[in-house]
Amino acid sequence: MRVLVTGGAGFIGSHVVDAYVAAGHEVVVADDLSTGRRANVNPGAEFYPVDITTPHLADLFDGGRFDVVNHHAAQVDVRRSVADPVADAGVNIGGTLRLLELCRRHGVRGVIFISSGGAIYGEHAPVPTPEDFPARPVSPYGVSKFAGERYVDYYQTVHGIPSVILRYANVYGPRQDPHGEAGVVAIFCQRLLEGEAPIIYGDGGQTRDFVYVGDVAAANLRALDLLGRLNATGAAPATFNIGTGVETTVNALLGRLTALAGGGEAPRHDPARPGEQRRSAVNPTRARETLGWTPAVPLGDGLAKTLSWFRERSPKAPSNQPSAPTPAGTDVRTVGSPIVL
């Protein structure tokens, strides 16, 4: 298939591109590099520096002939969405709508839309949360992602574009940027390796469902396969949680990373941030039963791989610390998108 991956120079998107290229697909990357990096883009993919909120996106579609669009490009920071909900909506709603309209005009045969399993469901959801629990997001980011889902459903229902929605839990792993992104694992890794005190917002008892980026890339491969079957059968699009179903507190996460790093400064506690949930974990049963996907990397192994990747790139990390070789393929490749949800 010929696949357009928006946000394909970012943290998660670049791993997805790696997986698609390795599977033999023809991949085009559109990314404005506001948070992604050109070095992250697989050399086997075409790259175009395009902002999805601008008319220039149409130029890419004019000659693109895409079979599927995988939409990772987004504003992903909950705090930023609280501070500027208009800007958040401009990217996550306006950009998504522009993209879907181009898919309609150019006969794209399927869409994979990336949503949030942490920010969609709201404070009162059961944990782990199933996909059929009513969405009640408590942040502008969650609202904009849910609006994107509804537009995807509209384009499937009215215009016949089969779609798969993937609701990510908290994705972590190599290439996550501790600057300008909301990835707590990346931030903790950097601070521990550079001898700085990690910052915990609130008491650290808040929980998240941490899923390794290599597993997320594998889920996107499964979603692409499912889209092929949906195109053939005319079946309705489906929504899947992509996570482990396991809650981990921020305190426990820091404890595990500190042990892996061989020690570190005591954490500093700052006030809790508005718009963030107390507990969050998603139920991945539907993804296992329908996509045949289950997370394969345990949290301890994923944290060790991630810390090793950061250690190799930290100018302040002790040189006598052992470092594992950089994984190949979809596990790691070259670098950059979310997420503390």
Report in angstroms the alpha-carbon separations of 129 from 77, 119, 242, 252: 21, 11, 11, 21
What three-state secondary structure class fits 223? helix
Question: Rounded CA gap, 61 and 186, in Å?
Answer: 34
Could you say which DSSP state residue 333 is in?
S
Question: Rounded CA gap, 197 and 188, in Å?
Answer: 9
- As given in the structure block, the two tokens for residue 307 are 């810390």
Instruction: Count the alpha carbons within 13 Å of 81 in the hemisphere toward its beta carbon.
Output: 29
- As given in the structure block, the two tokens for residue 19 are 């997986």
Specify the DSSP element, H or E, that contains 187: helix 184-193
Tokens 């998603």 appear where?
Answer: 282
Question: Rounded CA gap, 111 and 277, in Å?
Answer: 29
Question: Rounded CA gap, 336 and 146, in Å?
Answer: 23
CB 73 within 8 A of CB 33: no
Tokens 């306006």 appear where?
Answer: 94
Q: Rounded to a whole number, what is the distance in angstroms from the first to the last CA of the chain?
A: 31
Could you say which DSSP state residue 331 is in?
S
Q: 10 Å Cβ neighbour count for 134?
A: 9
Residues serving a catalytic function are 141
